[in-house]
Amino acid sequence: SAVISQKPSRDICQRGTSLTIQCQVDSQVTMMFWYRQQPGQSLTLIATANQGSEATYESGFVIDKFPISRPNLTFSTLTVSNMSPEDSSIYLCSVEDGDRPVEQYFGPGTRLTVT
Amino acid sequence: AQSVTQLDSQVPVFEEAPVELRCNYSSSVSVYLFWYVQYPNQGLQLLLKYLSGSTLVKGINGFEAEFNKSQTSFHLRKPSVHIRDTAEYFCAVRENNNAGNMLTFGGGTRLMVKP
């Protein structure tokens, strides 16, 4: 399975600022996904990012708030813009396994606290 | 649209006892089913999956799950749990069609293994 790393692992940010989260994969993958896990909650898909095209956002998430870049087949970034305490969550990226495309593998997550 | 229900938010159990974590899903098409585990302060790890074929699937760490199409269930079981199994467990479903790659997660079940 793919090995996925995220930076930063955690951060504490002030209201109104923005944070960019990086996701790096050790192999080339077509599809990358960004999820949010609010405290004590399950995972919710924010968007799907394919290399060379605009990210596809799920209902309730918009590009202005969560801009995503996907410059190549091993890297993606998610920015959380104009943060408020409600954005305090764990943000996880995941990828589909190239050999077993039905399966998704997850990074360790970025724990964000907004004060 | 698919949905997943994990009937128990918390399951306390003594070490070496058997455990079953329940998962029911709803979908208008056939599905792929997954169980993920999240240890404290970590990302998600794939435990096992059902794609097709035998309805009893075995995963890592001694876990297994059985797909029951008539009851739309995919319960996770382990005959004898260890303290290290204490974690959050998520059931997830993905529709078996070409409409997309979206994973829908249940609310999670916190397994608490007591000595």
Contact list, A106 vs chain B (CB under 8 Å): 36, 43-45
- CA-based nearest residue to B94, from B70, B74, B78, B76: B74
Q: Nearest-CA residue of chain B relative to A96?
A: B101
Q: Is B59 on the interface with A (CB under 8 A)?
A: no
3-class secondary structure, A54: coil
| Residue carrying structure tokens 């599905």 | B31
Q: Is A103 on the interface with B (CB under 8 A)?
A: yes
**Looking at the predicted structure, is the pLDDT value of residue A6 above 90?**
yes
CB contact under 8 A, A42 and B101: no
pLDDT band per the 50, 70, 90 thresholds, residue A103: confident
- CA-based nearest residue to B109, from B70, B58, B63, B57: B63
Contact list, B8 vs chain A (CB under 8 Å): none
CA-based end-to-end distance of chain A: 36
The whole-angstrom distance between B26's CA and the closest CA on chain A is 17
**Bridge-partner residues for B25, per DSSP?**
B4
CB atoms within 10 A of CB A58: 15
At B18, the amino acid letter reads P
| Residue carrying structure tokens 């876990």 | B63
pLDDT band per the 50, 70, 90 thresholds, residue A102: confident
Residue range B8-56, pLDDT digits in tens: 999 999 999 999 999 999 988 888 999 999 998 888 999 999 998 899 9
The whole-angstrom distance between B9's CA and the closest CA on chain A is 10
Q: What integer best gives the mean pLDDT of chain B? A: 92
The residues, ordered by sequence, that sit 6+ positions from A84 with a Cβ below 8 Å of its Cβ are: A15, A16, A114
